[in-house]
Amino acid sequence: MRFVGRTAELAVLDAQWRKREAQLMIVTGKRRVGKTFLLNRWLQKKPAVYYLADRRPEREQLRELAKRLGAHFTDPFVAATGCSRTAPARRA
């Protein structure tokens, strides 16, 4: 697939990346216009974890995400145990 005409979008993503603080970026647009391709291309040389949720059960997705995070941060505990243990709920 050719990658053309995304200079403005890449500039916005780069500007947010340079802020170096935790944040959530939501990318929206019509289907089949290349949002996933754009993000994957942009993240190629970044120390980041990209995860696209799907329709699998939540537990399976958390396991998959934990594997990726464990591999990214070289943390065998996270990769092996995943998100199966949750912190107790806080009391109000």
Please state the three-class secondary structure of 23-42 as a single string.
CCCCCCCCCCCCHHHHHHHH
Co-location of 25 and 43 in the same domain: yes
Co-location of 37 and 72 in the same domain: no
Range of the domain at 90: 55-92
Q: pLDDT higher for 7 or 24?
A: 7
How much is the pLDDT for 10?
A: 93
Co-location of 9 and 36 in the same domain: yes
Q: Determine the average pLDDT of the residues in 30-46.
A: 92
Co-location of 44 and 59 in the same domain: no
How much is the pLDDT for 91?
A: 56
Co-location of 60 and 85 in the same domain: yes
Tally the domains of the chain.
Answer: 2
Co-location of 4 and 42 in the same domain: yes
Co-location of 62 and 27 in the same domain: no
The DSSP secondary-structure symbol of 19 reads T
Q: What is the mean pLDDT of the chain?
A: 86
Position 10: which residue type?
A: L
Cα separations (Å) of 86 from 13, 34, 70, 79? 32, 35, 16, 15
